[in-house]
Amino acid sequence: MSEARSPSKTETSRKSKRSGPSALPLAGRMEGSVHVLLVRVYYEDTDALGLVYYANYLKYMERGRTDMLRLLGVGRHDPVAGDAEGLFVVRHCSIDFLGPARLDDILEIRTSVAGLGGAVLDLDQAVRRDGIDLVTGRVKAACIDKSGKARRISPKIRQKLQHLCVTR
């Protein structure tokens, strides 16, 4: 565990590998301006009602957001700038639970940019099965720097997100 903590040659080669083509299939895909990530429901996601536990949809949604930014090469997923371009943290979310997902389901996590402010990114997200939304949510994420302070979204990130913004 000790050695692995300081970045090393292995670390570097690993990082470069992450942004390479082999990583892409796990990061979902863009369908027009909507990011789509497939996730499988495992036992860990369900609860004693036999359904996906309500907080776990927020995990799925975070996977979707993270992989959309990863695909776009934004923020900490920027292979050059990394964290310097800022991180996004959730300030607000509003979620509707319309129907339950179950063990073994394959779900589509759909993420689209609903708005882009000076320091704030609004996302619309949905968890869908067979074309039917089970959970929908609006998430407001704020851009922060490494010290946790709010910061303006950089022009570089703004440019990448702007053209996905459906209400621009």
Site membership for a second copy, residue 166 (CB under 8 A): no
Measured CA to CA, the distance from residue 42 to residue 104 in angstroms comes to: 6
Considering only residues 86 to 125 of the shown chain, the ones binding a second copy according to CB under 8 A are 87, 89-97, 99-100, 102-106
Q: Choose between 99 and 117: whose C-beta lies nearer to a second copy.
A: 99
Residues 6+ apart with CB under 8 A from 26: 67
Measured CA to CA, the distance from residue 8 to residue 128 in angstroms comes to: 41
Considering only residues 60 to 89 of the shown chain, the ones binding a second copy according to CB under 8 A are 62-63, 66-67, 70, 76-77, 87, 89
For Cα atoms 63, 70, 37, give the angle at the middle one, nearest 5 degrees.
40
Q: Quick one: tokens of 91?
A: 């300030």
CA proximity to 160, closest of 76, 89, 74, 83: 74
Query: Active-site residue 67, yes or no?
Result: no
Q: Which residues bind a second copy (CB under 8 A)?
A: 1-6, 10, 13-14, 17-18, 22-23, 25-27, 38, 40, 42-44, 46-51, 53-56, 58-59, 62-63, 66-67, 70, 76-77, 87, 89-97, 99-100, 102-106, 129-130, 132, 142, 144, 147-150
